Amino acid sequence: MAGRLKGKIAFLTAAGAGIGRETAELFAAEGAKVIATDLDKSKLAGLHADCRALDVRSTEAVNAMAKDIGAMDILFNCAGYVHHGTVLDCSDQDWDFSFDLNVKSMHRTIKAFLPAMLEKGGGSIVNISSGVSSIRGVPNRYVYGATKAAVIGLTKAVAADFIRRGIRCNAICPGTIQSPSLDDRIAALAKSSGESQDTVRKAFIERQPIGRLGTAREMANLALYLASDESSYTTGQIHIADGGFAL
């Protein structure tokens, strides 16, 4: 079906690459007016969208953008960071940065944009969590898993609080997705471990029961469903798309 988001206004964070960019492109292709943001505005080049720089770690910047944009129909929260290590590798700075970017950024955008969504009569909020969360524990993802579990809790709380006021809030929990971010992490792990990038990449692939990495477009397709009216009876749910990783 074409035009699944026709007439809707969508606001996206971290739309410069990976899942965020694929989702911005798909939302625009399906008829939405897309407002795409990223910390680095240059990464948004080529998108059919209103492209803006935004630091989601700044409450002032998020509030100012919400005031400027006004009411919208879809909020897609994609900004995040993957910290590697156990509790022994996690400094207070690592903990604070991870929670600020992975969780508090969503708190900021939801708090800033929700009043206008409520005044408009409803909307859909889609948050990117992870299979590495309350769903499954994975070695060397201590603070990352904690933040993504918090995103699930945040999602359910927002859904429960505003279920009778037209707001739906859902979370997507991806497995390992091919993206520029993954490429950077593979390069860093190869350097720190002394293994080749091919060996590190193979290890990522082998832990996927389905036998391959996921794609950003597959996650965008799920985001489209949750953003559209097709999912109008769905709220407060986690949607696992991980190639069987949680089995």
- pLDDT at residue 19, as a whole number: 97
pLDDT at 31 over 90: yes
pLDDT in the model for residue 1: 61
| Topology adopted by domain 9-176+215-241 | Rossmann fold (3.40.50)
pLDDT per residue over 188-202, tens digit each? 888 888 889 999 899
Alpha helix stretches (DSSP H) within 178-243: 180-193, 197-206, 216-227
CB 169 within 8 A of CB 159: yes
CA–CA gap between residue 210 and residue 207 (Å, rounded)? 9
Query: Which of residues 174 and 2 earns the better pLDDT score?
Result: 174
CA distances 117 to 73, 105, 125, 171, Å, are: 7, 18, 10, 18
Question: What is the rounded CA–CA span in Å between residue 113 and residue 108?
Answer: 9
The Cα–Cα gap between 73 and 76 comes to 10
To the query of whether residue 81 is one of the catalytic residues in this protein, the response is no
The predicted pLDDT at position 135 comes to 96
Structure tokens at 199: 């060996």
Contact at 8 Å (CB) between 151 and 171? yes
Instruction: Kindly give, in sequence order, each residue whose CB lies less than 8 Å from that of residue 229, ignoring residues fewer than 6 positions away.
Output: none
Please identify which of the residues 142, 144, 225, 233 carries the catalytic annotation: 144
Q: In what order do the strands lie in the sheet with 50-53?
A: 50-53, 33-38, 9-12, 74-77, 123-128, 167-174, 238-241
Q: What percentage of the chain exceeds 70 in pLDDT?
A: 100
Position 43 scores a pLDDT of 97
Domain spans in the chain, listed from the N-terminal domain onward = 9-176+215-241, 178-213
| 184 pLDDT higher than 90 | no
